[in-house]
């Protein structure tokens, strides 16, 4: 028997820009519905990864089922499905939205609507969600409730006469939000008696239960002991455990249409459970799968190598486990002469790349070397063939190349008008083409530029923030390919080209870049036993050179009785430092060297 | 009961009349009352070695000779119980040592003295608050000889801010004009806990340090001081016996504030807090040394010596053959000539001694 009738279920998520208070609001909702007692309450409960709490961002979505005793005297089941806030993670957002009927749109009363929020609101509207506008941080002196409402109306067209002003921090008016959820957000459709259709919106690996799928039941009923089938690949399993997260796992005998919960079925093979897939049951089999969700394509690629080549197998396992609940992560094996065996991985953006690296290192304890990120170039050969190039070192011989096209994005930069000048300069420096500028109100503009993607993967966002004192926000979408005068630049150590250090650069920038990279590498690579030349070359022609000096002093001048234990520790510490070094030929190259190409702009400014 | 013979004992006297800005050792300003109490607790601490007799005793600091006449005498009386039959005492001193104290050293059979001259260059002397003249040191050395102390070491610091090779050579000219047996050099290190560190005194870069070091080696060779350890130069037969105990990885006791010891496979360092010490709470850091870390120490220390370590001694201590055990790491270095085997000793090539740690990391990890 189901505990909540369909009409008493509300599935919703929260959409907000970073720092606009989504996680804090979620905390208050958890508190008000008594999901956690005070003892368990820690800030930003749903951000369960250490990394999320440290950076103050939500990366992985997370769901929680709550009981809400409403003012009408009845109990409702709230399924809150959390969403990440960063542009790199819109894939995750689309997944959580597909599991909901409504969304809370949280806007900071002191900041107004941000570009990123807009992108997610459009996703929500795409999914036909009911959106409840909430203006947060109204307790702050600089809060402007009316202005925030007007912005929502102007930019999204969402009426705000019933917008709720809250303070997630103090808890003010959060109770009103809960009532609005009951009133405004539609109950899920669905029929317990229909064939089972359960949408997998996330999954994770548990060493006791195997792969656990998080699902929302769209149609039908799922019971313990049922034989389930993954509709995309036909694998079948017997359900061993069902449950809901409140937020502690609480096992149940059955999940009914409209409910959100988890399914364990002793699934050992990670690849069998794909977020976006539909689960049905052999007992009551559906003929059609639910529509998945918008598939996100990687925008940025880089090579990922274990510092210790013996860890290749561990890295493979770790990537497989990560991709289990990060379907946007792409990877395939590749070999580098310099770095050995590793993977070429595709990411949604640089933050995504950063997060994956940190998770691999922290959760799986693998020290990594990343090569500088690259976009996908379309290389047209003279014979008419086209190659999609995601690794600069694979660039065909220049004699056979007719032209190279690079991905272009259409970028929308929202900023207070006083920063228009510096931002346009930045876009111009990054080979941008001005498209349009729209005044959103008296003080804010939306600047539209077309920019090569490769120019924004390099610290564009950081620059934008510093040029606008943190006020500008930024969103982009892919806008096709365009031919450009691009060349491959090789870096040679000791006269040997190092494949992992190759990059593709705009020809006019090549000379300057070469100089800066070579100098930067000289500073990063420690002195070696012998002098080592570093050279930058284009098609065999050396354009820049610098030398790593030989080590001249590497010893403690004094080492008497009291220094001995200390000296051993010192050597061990130095050894730890070496762990992130990769021996390339006879040269020991630290991890940062492979990213050096990224940060050349910092250098240019000095 | 028959007592057990141990090679060395280090005795730390933390008091100083002035604090040198480069010094990171455990030290405090001299205070008569503190010094009296300190000696009382030092005597108590020494009882942990009541089963031992030591062959070499090294009194270091701080400035041991900052103790008063009476206190110095008391110190030697305390140590007497722990001296072996053919004991050998070394003491560190500042350049301001007076004849009445030298008489005590003579009386208690101190054989060797190490004087913290550091430099005669007036610019650098000003930076470290020292103002000794060559004349004063000459007189002190004569006086020591007159009292039968001829085994004399002078400390030299190089690598001061803006110091040039010519400055180092000028110092060494004066050093070698004296009748001394040993010169310890020390490339200025700006270490935490030192005044220089707080003042952000610039440490020398490695190219400049190496230039000066190479000049020191070349110059002292002409003057018959041969290098036997990375930073130590001596006339034949006058190597520091006590310091060789450390580099040969032999046992030594240690008493006093912040002193280290290595006895029965335990490395210990005493507390660096004078107030804890004066409550009799001596111990601070302790590491028990198993076979693997003993090997680590043996190799790490042995390769600081110009002649390296004895392969025979390695086999005797560890019951394995060094060349077999470290074949993977050592063979390429032997092939390239960075390591050399001579007369049963394995050593770093002369030119590589100043980058010994670079090779140690290759061998030890």
DSSP-derived secondary structure for A414-459: EEEGGGHHHHHHHHHHTT-EEEEEEE-SSSEEEEEEEEEHHHHHTT
Q: B189 and A557: CB-CB below 8 Å? A: yes
Check CB contact of A559 with chain B, cutoff 8 Å: yes
pLDDT, position B33: 94
Closest CA to A441 of A138, A113, A193, A99: A113
- In this prediction, residue A386 has a pLDDT band, given cuts at 50, 70 and 90, of very high
A253 in helix, strand or coil? Answer: coil
- B50–chain A nearest CA distance, Å: 21
Q: Does A560 touch chain B (CB under 8 A)?
A: yes
Strands A340-347 and A330-336: antiparallel
Which residues in B lie closer than 8 A to residue A564 (C-beta atoms)?
246, 260, 262, 267, 297, 301
- In this predicted structure, what is the pLDDT of residue A579? 67
pLDDT > 50? residue A61? no
Distance from CA of A549 to the nearest CA of B (A): 10
DSSP code string of B225-253: PEEEETTEEE-TT-S-HHHHHHHTT--EE
- Work out the average pLDDT over A242-270: 88
Residues A340-350, mean pLDDT to the nearest whole number: 86
- Look up the pTM and report it: 0.67
In chain A, residues with a C-beta closer than 8 Å to the C-beta of B300 are: 567-568, 571
Would the CB atoms of B296 and A578 count as touching at under 8 Å? Answer: no
> Out of A43-47, A288-292, B105-109, B139-143, which region has the weakest mean confidence (pLDDT)?
A43-47
Q: Residue A335, SS3?
A: strand
Task: Tell if the CB–CB gap between A568 and B300 is shorter than 8 Å.
Answer: yes
Contact list in B for residue A562 (CB cut-off 8 A) is 10, 25, 254, 258-260, 269
DSSP string, B123-185: HHHHHTT----HHHHHHHHHHHHHTT--EEEEEEEE--TT--HHHHHHHHHHHHHS--SEEEE
Please tell me if residue B24 touches chain A, with a CB cutoff of 8 Å.
no
Reported as a pLDDT band with limits 50, 70 and 90, residue A397 is confident
Measured CA to CA, the distance from residue A260 to residue A101 in angstroms comes to: 12
The β-bridge relationship of strands A377-381 and A401-416 is antiparallel
**H runs (alpha helix) in chain B:** 32-46, 69-80, 99-107, 122-127, 134-146, 165-177, 195-199, 206-222, 241-247, 274-277, 291-302, 311-318, 322-325, 327-335, 356-364
- The answer to whether residue A558 neighbours chain B at the CB level (below 8 Å) is yes
Of the candidates B260, B296, B304, the beta carbon closest to that of A561 is on B260
Contacts of A568 in chain B (CB under 8 A): 293, 296-297, 300
Q: What is the pLDDT of residue A116?
A: 62
Instruction: Check if B241 contacts A (Cβ < 8 Å).
Output: no
Which of A549, A555, A561 has the CB atom closest to B230's CB atom? A555
Please list every residue in chain A whose beta carbon sits closer than 8 Å to the beta carbon of residue B262. Answer: 561, 564
pLDDT of res. A603 = 43
C-beta separation of A121 from A105 below 8 A: yes
What is the structure's pLDDT at A40?
A: 58
- CB–CB contact A574 B357 (8 Å): yes
B246 to A556: CB separation less than 8 angstroms, yes or no = no
Residues of A within 8 A of B206 (CB-CB) are 527, 551-554
CB contact under 8 A, B206 and A527: yes
pLDDT at A59 (0 to 100): 41
C-beta atoms of B353 and A565 within 8 A: no
pLDDT computed for residue B219 by the predictor? 96
Shortest distance between the Cα of A54 and any Cα of chain B, in A, equals: 31
Q: Is residue A46 pLDDT above 80, yes or no? A: no
Calculate the alpha carbon distances from A589 to A126, A204, A482, A600, B336 in Å.
Answer: 48, 36, 35, 18, 22
Backbone angles phi, psi at A518, to 5 degrees: -60, -40
Residue pair A132/A185 in contact (Cβ under 8 Å)? The answer is yes
The mean pLDDT value for A568-587 works out to 82
Closest-CA distance, B360 to chain A, in angstroms, reads: 8
Most B-contacting residue of A553, A566, A575 (CB-CB within 10 A), to test interface: A553
More confidently predicted of A431 and A583: A431
**Does B361 lie at the interface with A, CB-CB under 8 angstroms?**
yes
- CA dist A47 and A61 (Å) reads 8
Which residues pair with residue A194 across a beta bridge? none
Q: Say whether A561 and B10 touch across the interface (CB within 8 A).
A: yes
- Categorize the per-residue pLDDT at A19 as very low, low, confident or very high, splitting at 50, 70 and 90: low
CB A111 within 8 A of CB A17: yes
Cβ within 8 Å, pair B301-A556:
no
Closest residue, chain A, to B297 (C-alpha): A568
- Look at residue A483 and tell me whether its pLDDT is greater than 90: yes
Give me the interface pTM, i.e. the ipTM. 0.91
Question: Between chains, do B187 and A553 touch, taking CB under 8 Å as contact?
Answer: yes
Q: Answer whether B355 sits within 8 Å of A553, measured CB to CB.
A: yes
The gap between the terminal CA atoms of chain A, to the nearest Å, is 69
Q: Do B185 and A557 touch (CB under 8 A)?
A: yes
Contact residues on chain A for B301, CB-CB shorter than 8 A: 559, 564
Is some CB atom of chain B closer than 8 A to the CB atom of A541? Answer: no
* Most B CBs within 10 Å, among A552, A571, A586, to test the B interface: A552
Distance from CA of B230 to the nearest CA of A (A): 7
CA distance B254 to chain A (A): 9
Task: Please tell me what DSSP assigns to residue A158.
Answer: -
Q: Can you tell me the distance from the alpha carbon of A447 to that of A416, in angstroms, rounded to the nearest whole number? A: 10
Q: Would you say residue A37 has pLDDT above 70?
A: no
Q: Select the residue of B304, B355, B365 nearest A551 (Cβ to Cβ).
A: B355
Q: According to the model, what pLDDT value does residue A488 have?
A: 92
Say which of A557, A575, A578 has its CB closest to residue B231. A557
> Over 90: is that where the pLDDT of A225 sits?
yes
Asked if B230 reaches chain A (Cβ–Cβ under 8 Å), the answer is: yes
Residue B361 to residue A555, Cβ atoms within 8 A: no
A529-539 pLDDT per residue, tens: 899 999 999 98
User: What 3-state DSSP class applies to A564?
Assistant: helix
Length of chain B: 365
- Does A294 have pLDDT greater than 80? no
pLDDT of residue A62: 67
**Residue A44: per-residue pLDDT:** 52
Q: Can you tell me the mean pLDDT for A465-494?
A: 86
Measured in whole angstroms, how far is the alpha carbon of residue A203 from the centre of its chain?
16
**pLDDT of the residue at B90:** 98
Q: Does A579 touch chain B (CB under 8 A)?
A: no
Residue A295 has pLDDT above 70, yes or no: no
Phi first, then psi, for residue A105 (nearest 5°) are -95, 110
Predicted pLDDT of residue B135: 97
Q: How far apart are CA B301 and CA B312, in angstroms?
A: 16
Shortest distance between the Cα of B222 and any Cα of chain A, in A, equals: 22
Instruction: Check CB contact under 8 Å for A559 and B210.
Output: no
For the segment A39-48, the average pLDDT, to the nearest whole number, is 54
Determine how β-strand A75-81 pairs with β-strand A9-16: parallel
> What Cα–Cα distance (Å) separates residue A116 from each residue in A18, A319, A430, B336?
9, 28, 22, 60
Q: How confident is the model at residue A231 (pLDDT cuts 50, 70, 90)?
A: confident
- Residue B355 C-alpha, separation from nearest chain A C-alpha, in angstroms: 4
pLDDT at B211 (0 to 100): 96
Q: Quick check: A85 pLDDT over 50?
A: no
Tens digit of each residue's pLDDT, chain B (365 residues) = 789 999 999 999 999 998 888 887 778 899 999 999 999 999 999 999 999 999 999 999 899 999 999 999 999 999 999 999 999 999 999 999 999 999 999 999 999 999 999 999 999 999 998 889 999 999 999 999 999 999 999 999 999 999 999 999 999 999 999 999 999 999 998 888 788 988 899 989 999 999 999 999 999 999 999 999 999 999 999 999 999 999 999 999 999 999 999 999 999 999 999 999 999 999 888 899 999 999 999 999 999 999 999 999 999 999 999 999 999 999 999 999 999 999 999 999 999 999 999 999 999 98
Q: How far from A587 is each of A534, A546, B342, B352, CA to CA, in Å?
A: 11, 15, 30, 18
Q: Which of A118-122, A131-135, B234-238 has the highest mean pLDDT?
A: B234-238
- Which SS3 state, helix, strand or coil, does residue A269 take? coil
Cα radius of gyration rounded to whole Å, chain A:
27
Instruction: Please tell me the distance from the alpha carbon of residue A501 to that of residue A374, in angstroms, as a whole number.
Output: 11
Which residues on B lie below 8 Å from A530 (Cβ)? Answer: none
For residue A395, the 8-state DSSP code is P
- Note whether B242 and B8 are within 8 A (CB): yes
% of chain A exceeding 90 in pLDDT: 32
pLDDT of residue A605: 40
Which residues, numbered 157 to 176 in chain A, qualify as contacts with chain B under a Cβ-Cβ cut-off of 8 Å? none
Q: What's the distance, Cα to Cα, between the start and end of chain B in Å?
A: 44
CA B179 vs. chain centroid, Å, equals 21
The C-alpha of A575 sits at a distance from chain B's nearest C-alpha, in angstroms, of: 7
Q: What crossing angle do the helices spanning A312-324 and A350-363 adopt, rounded to 10°?
A: 120
The shortest C-alpha distance from B273 to chain A (Å) reads: 15
What tens digit of pLDDT does each residue of A312-330 get? 999 999 998 888 767 678 8
Residue B14: Cβ within 10 Å count: 26
Mean pLDDT of chain A: 83
**Option in B189, B210, B231 nearest A552 (CB):** B210
DSSP string of A184-249? HSPPP---TTSPPEEEEEEEEEETTTEEEEEEEEEESEEETT-EEEETTT--EEE--EEEEESSSE
Q: Do B187 and A559 touch (CB under 8 A)?
A: no
Peptide linkage before A247 cis (omega within 30 of 0):
yes
* pLDDT tens-digit series, residues A153-201: 887 778 888 889 998 888 889 899 999 999 999 999 888 899 999 988 8
Helix (H) / strand (E) containing A303:
strand A300-306
Residue B243 to residue B257: CA distance in whole angstroms: 19
B114 touches chain A (CB under 8 A): no
């Amino acid at each position: 028997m189901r505990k909540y009738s369909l009409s008493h279920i509300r599935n919703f998520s929260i959409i907000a820009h970073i720092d606009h208070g989504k996680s804090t609001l979620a905390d208050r909702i958890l508190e008000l519905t008594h999901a956690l007692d005070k003892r368990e309450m820690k800030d930003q409960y749903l951000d369960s990864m250490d990394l999320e709490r440290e950076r103050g961002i939500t990366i992985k979505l997370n769901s929680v089922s709550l009981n809400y005793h409403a003012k009408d005297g009845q109990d409702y089941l709230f399924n809150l499905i959390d969403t990440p806030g960063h542009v790199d993670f819109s894939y995750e957002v689309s997944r959580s939205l597909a599991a909901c009927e409504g969304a809370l749109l949280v806007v900071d009363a002191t900041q107004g609507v941000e570009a990123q929020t807009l992108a997610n609101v459009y996703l929500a509207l795409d999914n036909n969600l009911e959106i409840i506008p909430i203006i947060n941080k109204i307790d702050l002196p600089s809060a402007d409730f009316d202005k925030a409402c007007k912005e929502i109306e102007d930019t999204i067209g969402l009426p705000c006469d019933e917008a709720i002003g809250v303070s997630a921090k103090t808890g003010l008016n959060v109770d009103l939000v809960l009532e609005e959820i009951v009133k405004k957000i539609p109950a899920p459709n669905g029929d317990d008696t229909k064939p089972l259709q359960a949408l997998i919106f996330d999954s994770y690996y548990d060493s006791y239960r195997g792969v656990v799928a998080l699902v929302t039941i769209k149609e039908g009923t799922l019971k313990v002991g049922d034989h389930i089938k993954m509709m995309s690949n036909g694998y079948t399993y017997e359900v061993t455990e069902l449950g809901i997260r409140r937020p502690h796992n609480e096992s149940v005998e059955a999940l009914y249409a409209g409910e959100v919960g988890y399914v364990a079925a002793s699934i050992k093979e990670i690849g069998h459970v794909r977020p976006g897939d539909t689960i049905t049951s052999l007992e009551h089999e559906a003929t059609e799968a639910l529509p998945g969700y918008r598939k996100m394509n990687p925008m940025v690629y880089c090579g990922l190598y274990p510092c210790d080549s013996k860890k290749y197998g561990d890295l493979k396992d770790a990537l497989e486990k990560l991709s289990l609940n990060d379907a946007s992560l792409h990877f395939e094996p590749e070999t580098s002469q310099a770095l050995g065996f590793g993977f070429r991985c595709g990411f949604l953006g640089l933050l995504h790349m950063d997060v994956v690296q940190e998770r691999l290192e922290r959760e799986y304890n693998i020290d990594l070397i990343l090569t500088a990120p690259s976009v996908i170039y379309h290389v047209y050969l003279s014979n008419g063939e086209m190659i999609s190039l995601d690794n600069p070192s694979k660039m065909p011989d220049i004699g056979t190349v007719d032209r190279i096209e690079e991905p272009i994005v259409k970028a929308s930069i929202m900023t207070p008008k006083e920063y228009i000048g510096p931002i346009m300069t930045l876009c111009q420096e990054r080979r941008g083409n001005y498209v349009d500028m729209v005044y959103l109100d008296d003080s804010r503009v939306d600047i539209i530029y077309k920019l090569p993607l490769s120019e924004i993967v390099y610290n564009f966002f950081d620059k934008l923030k510093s040029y606008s004192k943190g006020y500008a926000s930024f969103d982009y979408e892919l806008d096709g390919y365009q031919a450009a005068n691009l060349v491959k630049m090789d870096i040679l150590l000791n006269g040997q080209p190092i494949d992992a250090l190759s990059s593709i650069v705009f020809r006019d920038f090549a000379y300057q870049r070469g100089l800066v990279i070579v100098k930067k590498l000289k500073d990063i690579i420690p002195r070696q036993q012998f002098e080592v030349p570093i050279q930058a070359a284009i098609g065999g022609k050396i354009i820049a050179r610098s030398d790593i000096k030989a080590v001249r002093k590497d010893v403690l001048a004094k080492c008497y009785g009291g220094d001995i234990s200390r000296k051993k520790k010192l050597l061990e510490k130095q050894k730890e430092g070496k762990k992130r070094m990769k021996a390339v030929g006879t040269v020991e190259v630290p991890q940062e060297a492979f990213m050096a190409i990224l940060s050349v702009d910092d250098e240019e400014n000095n | 009961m028959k007592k057990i013979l141990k090679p060395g004992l280090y005795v730390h006297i933390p008091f100083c009349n002035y604090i040198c800005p480069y010094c990171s050792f455990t030290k405090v300003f001299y205070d008569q009352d503190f010094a009296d109490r300190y000696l009382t607790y030092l005597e108590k601490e020494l009882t942990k070695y009541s089963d031992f007799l030591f062959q070499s005793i090294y009194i270091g600091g701080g400035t041991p000779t900052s103790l008063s006449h009476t206190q110095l005498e008391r110190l030697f009386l305390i140590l007497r119980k722990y001296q072996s039959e053919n004991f050998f005492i070394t003491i560190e001193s500042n350049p301001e040592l007076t004849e009445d104290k030298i008489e005590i050293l003579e009386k208690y059979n101190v054989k060797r003295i190490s004087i913290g001259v550091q430099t005669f260059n007036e610019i650098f002397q000003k930076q470290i608050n020292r103002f000794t003249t060559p004349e004063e040191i000459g007189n002190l050395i004569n006086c020591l000889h007159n009292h039968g102390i001829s085994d004399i070491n002078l400390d030299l610091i190089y690598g001061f801010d803006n110091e040039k090779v010519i400055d180092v050579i000028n110092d060494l000219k004066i050093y070698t004009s004296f009748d001394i047996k040993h010169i310890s050099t020390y490339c200025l290190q700006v270490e935490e806990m030192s005044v220089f560190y707080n003042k952000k005194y610039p440490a020398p870069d490695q190219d400049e340090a190496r230039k000066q070091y190479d000049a020191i080696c070349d110059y002292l060779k002409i003057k018959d001081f041969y290098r036997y350890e990375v930073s130590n130069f001596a006339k034949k037969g006058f190597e520091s016996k006590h310091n060789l105990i450390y580099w040969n990885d032999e046992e030594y006791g240690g008493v006093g504030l912040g002193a280290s010891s290595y006895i029965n496979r335990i490395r210990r360092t005493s507390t660096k807090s004078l107030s804890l010490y004066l409550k009799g709470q001596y111990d601070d850091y302790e590491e028990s040394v198993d076979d693997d870390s003993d090997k680590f120490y043996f190799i790490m220390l042995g390769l600081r010596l110009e002649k390296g370590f004895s392969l025979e001694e390695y086999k005797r201590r560890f019951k394995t053959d060094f060349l077999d055990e470290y074949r993977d790491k050592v063979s390429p270095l032997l092939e390239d000539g960075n390591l050399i085997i001579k007369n049963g000793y394995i050593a770093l090539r002369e030119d590589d001694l100043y980058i010994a740690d670079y090779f140690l990391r290759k061998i030890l990890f």
